[in-house]
Amino acid sequence: MARRARLDLAGFHHIVNRGVAKGKIYKSADDKDKFLEILCKACRVYKVNVHDYCLMDNHYHLFIETTSQNLSLFMRQINGNYAIYFNKKYKRVGHLWQGRYRSWYVVNEAYFYTIFRYIEHNPIKARMAKSVGEYPYTLLATLLNPKLELIPCAKHSKLRKELHYEGVQELLDRKLSKNELNELKAEEKKKIEQTEYGYRQIKRKKLKEHFEKCQDIQERNSAILKALDDGYTQGEVARYLGLSSAMVSKIFRSR
């Protein structure tokens, strides 16, 4: 099967990379500090801003903003330089990373705080912390703990700029609901195509094609979920079917 084309568009990207065979990519705090050093050096070279990050023992999350079409070059410098450092330090050979990094081009700013919460709750999910901001290798920890140093490539982070707005810290504390996780997964599945003038979202079928063979409510509801996964909004589906947005939202939440 052909691999999904990598989008190098300028803009926001959520990136995840794991160690080969789920092995550790950081064995000490020094390793994590070195990774952040390499990350910030690459940010200077390629003019990238870091909006959030989390370094777990066997994988990392980055939420970054590129200012030109250079994501692949940026990631190659980070992963390549860190692998050289890690293999030399631990006298190992072979691949450090489990295949290509995964990345999602984030076009909907409404999901920014969902991504922040997803990233910052990783240590809690792994039982490495009890609350957000406690685990030291996340951006939020450096923003809440004056003893931790803010990495320079995150000085323009949206999380940093908006952290002290009313209600933001309380929002970050909240675990993502099943519905929010489903919405985030659906957003990540949306296919984006690079064009001469930027990007466009690719839809596999027209709305008519999604619903023309539906014989009952169960088939209709299944088609609604497929249309949403195809990139149509809940409002677009509701208007086409003559349903309320609340009804479409209820069907989505029940998946």
* DSSP states of 102-123: EEEEE--GGGHHHHHHHHHTHH
Nearest to 116 by CA among 162, 59, 70: 162
133 vs 90, 100, 123, CA distance in Å?
A: 30, 29, 9
Q: Is residue 217 predicted with pLDDT exceeding 70?
A: yes
List the single range of 13-22, 48-57, 136-145, 184-193 with lowest mean pLDDT: 184-193
Confidence grade of residue 60 (pLDDT, cut at 50, 70, 90): very high
Confidence grade of residue 9 (pLDDT, cut at 50, 70, 90): confident
| CATH number for the segment(s) 204-255 | 1.10.10
Beta carbons within 10 angstroms of residue 209's beta carbon: 13
Q: What is the pLDDT of residue 199?
A: 57
Q: Is residue 136 predicted with pLDDT exceeding 70?
A: yes
Mean pLDDT of 55-78: 96
Confidence grade of residue 3 (pLDDT, cut at 50, 70, 90): very low
Polymer length in residues for the chain: 255
| CATH number for the segment(s) 11-180 | 3.30.70.1290
The two domains 11-180 and 204-255 share their CATH topology (first three levels equal): no
Buried b (16+ CB within 10 A) or exposed e, 57-89: bebbbbbbbbeeebbeebbebbbebbbebbeee
**Could you tell me what percent of the chain has a pLDDT over 70?**
91
Q: What is the pLDDT of residue 1?
A: 35
Q: What is the mean pLDDT of the chain?
A: 89
Mean pLDDT of 97-114: 88
Nearest to 54 by CA among 132, 144, 108: 132
Q: What is the pLDDT of residue 253?
A: 76
Which one is predicted more confidently, 185 or 121? Answer: 121
Structure tokens at 108: 């909907």
Q: Is residue 10 predicted with pLDDT exceeding 80?
A: yes
Mean pLDDT of 34-38: 98
CA distance linking residue 250 with residue 242, whole number of Å? 15
Mean pLDDT of 177-202: 72
Q: Is residue 8 predicted with pLDDT exceeding 80?
A: no
Contact 54, 26 (CB under 8 A): no
Confidence grade of residue 236 (pLDDT, cut at 50, 70, 90): confident
Q: Is residue 195 predicted with pLDDT exceeding 70?
A: no
Q: In the chain, where are the structural domains located?
A: 11-180, 204-255
- pTM as predicted: 0.77
Q: Is residue 201 predicted with pLDDT exceeding 80?
A: no
How far is residue 161 CA from its own chain's centroid? Answer: 19
* Residue type at 184 in one-letter notation: L
Structure tokens at 221: 């509801």
Q: What is the pLDDT of residue 2?
A: 39
Beta carbons within 10 angstroms of residue 116's beta carbon: 25
* Residue type at 66 in one-letter notation: T
Contact 225, 251 (CB under 8 A): yes
Mean pLDDT of 190-218: 76
